[in-house]
Structure 1
């Protein structure tokens, strides 16, 4: 098949606006697809908080989007993804995006999120027609773009852009975009689509469900997560839809931007290093210990954590296990994160009780996050659920073996350590319990002290793995071609 025209539509794009791993994917994958020779473009909202530089310019032609009672007019800003020629189009509309937050403010979710992201969906399709550039395939991301496949199957089916195939990627099935029936009216979608096998769920419109039923093909961010979401335990009420669409569902592991996440060149680190020379990692460890008020000791095992404080991330399990770990093992912990107020309080109390051995920073600090990845000896991710996960990939890239619960993408990306051989890249445990986490931390700690040669091999193994987008990009091209063949069998 010749070069493809591929449109990404997303609420987040790294480095312009980021809430989670979705932004990392949309900021990286298009660049690797472009390197393969494809014509790739990205559309996102122009939030008030977007990090824009002097290279962005406004298009002369205003953007009239046919939603609501009449056209909503906006403006399109254009730039490129950094380090590439991939065009980025940011849709400006003061009513919908002239606020700094992406999804929610201190009061909770924005009550007009349905209208905001329907404007994004219809606006992206309108922009393609304005540019006279009709994509072969539109790559949609999560519930915010769920109305794109719906529009292409209904209102816009017989227009030129109606021939475009869609690939809908589930990043986190838990968030589904429930809203009122006004969403259909605002999008000019036939009221007949308010039914159980289209958009209706529990008497509401479900924007994720719309994307799942109407997309040409569906992907998610790891093969294991693709299986988990077809079960009642992991499907968040949509498992029956995913079983119905199982033949069109594919799991592809996320990659990372290895030009950015590279311990040999990372400017955020006090000293760089490679798998052939770990001297710089020791310097990073000392800098991390100093910054978080830990006793500076090059020999003690240092465990790092960078996470939201949430039960989904298993931070309650860590909080329960930590007093026993710190009482009984010769270890230190460096913890960075924020979220649940009760968990924040618990970790503050633990940091006070174990001063000098548990260093804590509540909040987000990108530079400190990288230092924890580089300066720690192990990286802890006790997640109850993890569709793919990126921080374990960063940890292995930085020579820091991860300790993970065997769920979602953590199963697919971390290889279990094998004693006596030094094989593997980290440590996995099955049960989402504090004792299971405690025992696995103990196993890793014993390996650090009792099997230093195998521990060093474990670090090198992780750094040698290819976690770039190259392999995943080729898999997505296959998915795009599969979708195009299904949408346009001619």
Structure 2
């Protein structure tokens, strides 16, 4: 039996990307299609989404139960095709809610839009409408919602089932990052057309406010998160973000399924965005990528300098404050640092000061540029992902594929994917990067020293690079786990 699955999310690579969520929703549906599922994706009608879809055609008018947009504005559902993969995409056209330039979540001052509650409630409500056959030609058996933006989908589905007196579809809710919860004032709830009894401690209410994320966690049939270690960590007081009690109650319905890498996009042998293509057996060409990156960022053209790369949001969660404190040690040892990202103004300012103080050794490019991200991953010797916590992390898996050894904190998906270059792991042919245990300056400094020490032993370094590049974190195994979950739910 072919299982019909609707993925509900706010981003989809290559149409719209602000982080790893887009990479997942871009690659996972295709991996599921390859395993026989009938998969479609539902997205808000942000301008890049609408512009990037082919063959858009109307499906239905959306007479939704709340009125966030101006009188006379309409919302409607359209269907198109993502040409890169052939996946069918539903898009919600509501111009006053979604047709805004720039970031999909916040304005030019980095302030979240004041109407984000109804904007993303419409996403969840429309998912439930699709389960009720608003498209007469297709309805999902599984509604798979991603992160807080889609958190109300399971609740709207549960409400519709109550009203109709029968089951419509099963729901899966995936937490990509528990720290981002979609919190809104309590009065927002009563504008969204959900049953009033859903707003309780055993429901959508979270310390007197509305939490989209908690709503998804409570009302979905099954929960997943993006790595096995993170599934354990979020059930603890220290990493549960106030939701660890609920997650422990649902521990038998929670699965940690590691995200995968789309090797059609992230493959140094075929990547047309980098200076030179290379493979584990032809690693000399990687040096050309390093030279090109140094030239692009104005770093000194020292081929032997150990180059650390960062592609990240510049936030404390990502541990960039810890790395910033280690910059003097990197520079003192003759290393270099290339950073691409934007975020916390204090971190940006600190990195800019380091770049001004050491222009030949430190470079910061603010913003996000997909091609430059590939250049940093390919041109760096080490890719640093020193996160305080990390649900999965894709950057370290991209780095492995490119032979750029990851330097990571042992948390979440970082712990699940990188093996430290300790003497015993090197001897046992296991090492793929550098791992520090404690989130402390001394611990990251020790990992940085290990990186310099291994880099000085060029044969061992090359062997470790080749081992890293042979790791397989493709979507195959993860897609099989999702398929098993869907089959279980579909009965």
Moved more, 127-136 or 228-237: 127-136
Equivalent residues of 2:4, 2:37 under 8 A apart = yes
Q: How does 1:132-171 map to 2 (within 5 A)?
A: 132=136, 133-159=138-164, 162-171=167-176
Q: Distance in 1 between matches of 2:29 and 2:76?
A: 23
Distance 1:274 1:465 in 2: 13
Q: Distance in 2 between matches of 1:60 and 1:32?
A: 26
Report the number of matched residues: 482
How is 1:235-314 mapped onto 2 (pairs within 5 angstroms)?
235-314=240-319
- State whether residues 342 and 366 of structure 2, in contact with CA within 8 Å, keep that contact through their aligned partners in structure 1: yes
User: Secondary structure of the residue that 2:282 maps to in structure 1?
Assistant: coil
Q: Determine which of 419, 424, 438 is the counterpart of 1:431.
A: 438
- CA-CA distance at 1:270 after TM superposition: 1.4
Range moving further from structure 2, 64-73 or 187-196: 64-73
Choose 150-159 or 260-269, whichever is displaced more: 150-159
| 2:113 corresponds to | 110
Whole-angstrom CA distance in 2 between matches of 1:265 and 1:14:
18
- Do the aligned residues in 2 keep the contact of 1:399 with 1:459 (CA within 8 Å)? yes
Deviates more, 1:99-108 or 1:397-406: 99-108
RMSD: 2.0
1:250 partner SS: strand
Give unmatched runs, 5+ long, in structure 1: 486-490
Tell me whether 1:326 sits opposite 2:331 in the alignment: yes
Query: Match of 2:384?
Result: 380
For 1:63-462, list aligned pairs within 5 A.
63-68=62-67, 73-100=74-101, 101-105=103-107, 106-128=109-131, 129-132=133-136, 133-159=138-164, 162-327=167-332, 329-417=333-421, 418-449=425-456, 451-462=457-468
Work out whether residues 150 and 215 of structure 1, in 8 Å CA contact, stay in contact via their aligned partners in 2: yes
Counterpart-to-counterpart distance in 2, 1:109 and 1:359: 29
Q: Cα 1:422–1:289, aligned 2, differ >3 Å: closer, same or farther?
A: farther
Asked if the contact 1:422/1:454 (under 8 Å) is kept, the reply is: no
DSSP 3-state at the match of 1:44: strand
Provide the C-alpha distance between the structure 1 equivalents of 2:240 and 2:485, rounded to a whole number of angstroms. Answer: 22
The 2-side partners of 1:203 and 1:264 are apart by 53
Q: Cα–Cα, structure 1 residues 98 and 161, in superposed 2: closer, same or farther, change >3 Å? A: farther
Bigger Cα displacement from structure 2, 141-150 vs 357-366: 357-366
Q: TM-score, normalised by structure 1?
A: 0.94
Q: Is the 8 A contact 2:73 2:96 kept in 1?
A: no
**Separation (CA, whole Å) in 2 of partners of 1:15 and 1:160:** 40
CA separation in 2, counterparts of 1:390 and 1:290? Answer: 26
1:95-144 per-residue CA deviation (whole Å, 9 max, x = no partner) reads 21122332111251112111111111112332451212221111011112
Partners of 2:46 and 2:480 lie apart in 1 by 31
Q: Is the contact between residue 229 and residue 411 of structure 2 (CA under 8 Å) also seen in structure 1?
A: yes
1:305-329 per-position Cα deviation (integer Å, ceiling 9, x unaligned): 11222111111111111112312x1
Aligned to 2:484: 478
Measure, in 2, the Cα distance between the counterparts of 1:59 and 1:365: 33
Given the alignment of the two structures, is residue 58 of structure 1 paired with residue 50 of structure 2, yes or no? no
Separation of aligned partners in 2, 1:130 and 1:323 = 59
Separation in structure 2 between the aligned mates of residue 161 and residue 52 of structure 1, nearest angstrom: 38
The secondary structure found in structure 1 opposite 2:47 is: coil
> Aligned equivalents of 1:292 and 1:210: distance in 2?
44
User: What's the offset of the Cα at 1:411?
Assistant: 0.4
